[in-house]
Structure 1
Amino acid sequence: MTAATQLPQFRVTLNSRCGRACFFCRPSGEAISTAAGTEIDVGDLIRVAKALRQRGISSIKLTGGDPALYDPLEEAVSRLRDEAGYADIELISRHPQIGERAPALAEAGVTLFNMSVDTLVPELHKEICGVDDLSLVLKALDQCAATAVPVKVNTVVMGGINDAEIPDLVAYCEARGIRQLKLLDVIKDLDEGTESFARRLVIKRGSELRELYAPLEEIAERYRGLAVNSEVRRQGGLGHPMTVLTMPSGLEMVLKDSRAGAWYGSVCKSCPLFPCHDALMALRLTADMRLQFCLLREDNAVDLSGLMGQPAAARLESTLDEALSVYAGAWFRAEEPASRAALPLVQGQP
């Protein structure tokens, strides 16, 4: 076990709904269950973001829901850069409207566009997300690339559904000068939370989420011989170790496989979901102003909504310090077992 020395990623779910129903996701997206129509106030976002920036976090990822449907997005990005001092602002979207807003967002300060594309087959795209708009999503991808801001494509690899498309997705990204193609394994325990779209998968395919898991190391081995460079990276020092293969075209293939290990901390003690897929890779701020340590549990989320006024400024500061201390004491577990039953529950740092 290794002690964590770096801060977590900071991710913000700007709004609570994206208008899609991807069967590997859930209505509130990255956030724990959040009421429909909820959006974060820009002023509140900046207040928390500034405090975390002062504590050493220098990058932020804006997600949802979907940022493309967040009206004050350009204002939020500009203020995160100019007022809060963030050097890296990543925008994560799978909605066509992000393409129309891309030039203004680039001007406001976005440093990386992250578009989700899980298939190049229109019928499969519609089945996965419930919306028939693949051509518009791909047009938005081109619009983002046209800004000259680096673009990353996220693909959730699902066994028996889109895993055979990886060569086509690689070629598609290479042809368009995409900086990075990130292949993610299925968050196979996501349907153990309080809400999930995984029921759509059961209805359409007669399958459960965990049955779609595809080992990404097999894909890595297939491409390793073609790569001009191979390395292992971690997001923010606390994420899963990811294999990064640089293709001759310059495209980086990033493979994020949860079986490579994850970081756990005090909030994982006695958790019935341990060891889980997500663990402590990020500190997330939800659209209704809650801090969440992981994707699956609501009981340990920290409500900041009553700490936004000046009289509560000291309490906000101490609350953020306490939240970050969870990551400072985190430890790395090198490999997820085939079954949770193979291990006792976490009782503290091993």
Structure 2
Amino acid sequence: MRLPQWRVTLNARCKRSCYYCRPSGEAVATEAGANLDPDRLLAVAAAVRAQGVDSVKLTGGDPALYEPLVDVVRRLREEAGMRDVEVISRHPRIGELAPALAEAGVTQFNVSLDTLNPQLHREICGPDDHAEVLDAIRACVATGVPVKVNVVVMAGINIPEIDALIDWCEEAGVDSVKLLDIIKDLAEGQESYERRLQIKQKLNLPDLYLPLEDLADGVRSRAVDEEVVQQGGLGHPMTVFTLTSGMKVVIKDSTAGAWYGSVCRGCPLFPCHDALMALRLTADARLQFCLLREDATVDLAPLLDAGDTKAVLARVEAAFEMYAAAYFRKDGTKTTELAEVSR
């Protein structure tokens, strides 16, 4: 059975406005100020764990701004039996929380860094806190917990800096750097910051997109090992290069293909960027299959509030059945055959 990643959007806002994101972060449109109740989260975690998933990625919004974060990490490890708990943040406060999170059992920090230029950082994100973000990455590294740095590659914005970003992360002791392509269809959903991009750069999201093949060639020249992996059972095939230092550079290019399921039938956005990569739980307790469609969600809040654990388990089990029947499609082709990838 192919299992999706499980990603939990803990809150609905991150206090920044990056071009390539949306106000609600990873969630479909969610009311500002929404925060996921920890008991709701743990109840859904039990149902997800019953399906064989033992890892969770905590996203937002921004987990660093979610007050119960340290306690939730501990409960996910100790009560829900999660083997891996990854915290994904772009806020400097993650550095302040890093020691407590490490003690609570977080297994990976994931911090975003798209530029080494403070002025460009402010233009991309909004806040003027570039130095604090760098310090936060160093603080996470200092805990001894593996640190991944996400870099969103944007044509005309940060391409000349990619090598320097990799070098900075290598010197800082980062475990891995992940280069991601732009979600060029993000603005097809109800929320995006594309209007801000149009005002600042006079560009649209698709203008920032480029396949990452050329970058892969550059990283390949300095690597000692190369492999192709999938993140979870339904992620994009990704190329992973290991540098002489041991740091890994992961290239996630959506043109490598994605997984689709029954919820995708008849969708005007098919084929899309991420498809069924993950099952998400939103800050207002909805199961979310798709980044772009409001109609493709399952509201668990009434069942959770009623304490109907059997119904919650049934809804989660039904969601996993759709992922089990997913099929792979390489971008731009009509094939539904899965390319061979090593795990």
TM-score normalised over the length of structure 2 = 0.96
Cross-structure match for 1:216: 212
In structure 1, what is the equivalent of residue 341 of structure 2? none
Taking the TM superposition and a 5 Å limit, the aligned residue runs for 1:305-344 are 305-309=301-305, 312-336=308-332
8 Å CA contact retained: 1:31, 1:295: yes
Bigger mean CA deviation after superposition, 327-336 or 270-279: 327-336
d(CA) in 2 for partners of 1:162, 1:223: 16
Q: Distance in 1 between matches of 2:308 and 2:118?
A: 50
Q: Does 1:90 align with 2:98?
A: no
Of the three residues 65, 69, 72, the one matched with 2:68 is 72
Following TM superposition, by how much is the alpha carbon of 1:157 offset from its aligned partner in structure 2, in angstroms?
A: 0.1
What is the CA–CA distance in structure 1 between the aligned matches of 2:21 and 2:331, rounded to whole Å?
Answer: 24
User: Take 1:212 and 1:318, find their aligned partners in 2: how far apart are those partners?
Assistant: 41
Match of 1:304 in 2: 300
Structure 2 counterpart of 1:240, from 233, 236, 242 = 236
Alignment partners' CA distance in 1, 2:31 and 2:45: 22
The 5 Å alignment of 1:13-52 reads 13-52=9-48
Question: 2 CA distance for matches of 1:335 and 1:150?
Answer: 32
Residue identity matched to 1:79: R
Select the residue among 212, 216, 223 that pairs with 1:227: 223
Q: Point out where structure 1 has 5 or more consecutive residues left out of the alignment.
A: 338-342
Query: Partner of 1:254 in structure 2?
Result: 250
Q: 1:217: how far off?
A: 1.2
Give structure 2 stretches of 5+ with no counterpart. 337-343
Q: Give CA-to-partner distance per residue, 1:228-271, whole Å, 9 cap, x none.
A: 11000111120000000001111100000000000000000000
Of 112, 135, 140, the residue aligned with 2:136 is: 140
Q: Could you tell me which amino acid in structure 1 is paired with residue 132 of structure 2?
A: L
* SS of residue matched to 1:245: strand
Deviation at 1:309, TM superposition (A): 4.4
Cα distance between partner residues in 2 of 1:309 and 1:222: 52
Q: CA deviation at 1:280?
A: 0.3
> 1:340 aligns to what?
none
Are the counterparts in 1 of residues 281 and 288 from structure 2 also a CA contact under 8 Å? yes
Give the CA deviation at 1:159: 0.6
Judged with a 3 Å threshold, the aligned counterparts in structure 2 of structure 1 residues 311 and 176 are, in CA distance, closer, same or farther, namely closer
Aligned with residue 286 of structure 1, among 282, 285, 288 = 282
Deviation readout 1:157-181 (Å, 9 max, x if unpaired): 0011001111101110110110000
Instruction: Find the counterpart in structure 2 of residue 110 from structure 1.
Output: 106
- 1:180-233: per-residue Cα shift (whole Å, max 9, x none)? 000000000001100111111101111100011121111111221321110001
Aligned residues: 335
Does the 8 Å contact 2:271/2:331 carry over to 1?
no
Aligned counterparts of 2:159 and 2:298: Cα–Cα separation in 1 = 37
Root mean square deviation, CA, Å = 1.1
Structure 2 counterparts to residues 106-185 of structure 1, below 5 A: 106-185=102-181
Cα distance in 1 between the residues matched to 2:77 and 2:135: 27
Give the secondary-structure state (helix, strand or coil) at the position aligned to 1:100: helix
Asked if structure 2 preserves the Cα contact closer than 8 Å seen for 1:66 and 1:94, the reply is yes
One-letter amino acid of the counterpart of residue 153, structure 2:
V
Is the 8 Å Cα contact of residues 262 and 279 (structure 1) preserved in structure 2?
yes
User: Could you give the per-residue CA deviations for residues 121-143 of structure 1, whole angstroms, max 9, x where no partner exists?
Assistant: 00100000111100001011110
Whole-Å separation in 2 of the counterparts to 1:311 and 1:206? 50
**Partners of 1:318 and 1:244 in 2: how far apart?**
37
Residue 196 of structure 1 aligns to which amino acid in structure 2?
A: S
Give the letter aligned to residue 184 of structure 1: L
* CA distance, structure 1, for counterparts of residue 147 and residue 275 of structure 2: 26
Give the percent of matched residue pairs that are identical in Structure 1 and Structure 2.
60
Q: Which runs of 4+ in 1 moved over 3 A?
A: none
SS in 1 for 2:133: helix
Answer yes or no: is the 8 Å Cα contact 1:30–1:64 preserved in 2: yes
- Contact 1:102–1:144 (CA<8 Å) still a contact in 2? yes
Secondary structure at the residue paired with 1:27? coil
Distance 1:252 1:23 in 2: 26
Using the TM superposition, give the Cα deviation of residue 336 of structure 1 relative to its aligned residue in structure 2, in angstroms.
3.1
Asked if residue 81 in structure 1 is aligned to residue 77 in structure 2, the reply is: yes
1:308 is paired with a residue whose SS is: helix
Say which SS state the counterpart of residue 199 (structure 2) adopts: helix
Contact persistence 2:51–2:320 (CA under 8 A): no
Q: Please give the TM-score of this superposition, normalised by the length of structure 1.
A: 0.94
Q: Which residue of 1 aligns with 2:191?
A: 195
> 2 CA distance for matches of 1:111 and 1:80?
12
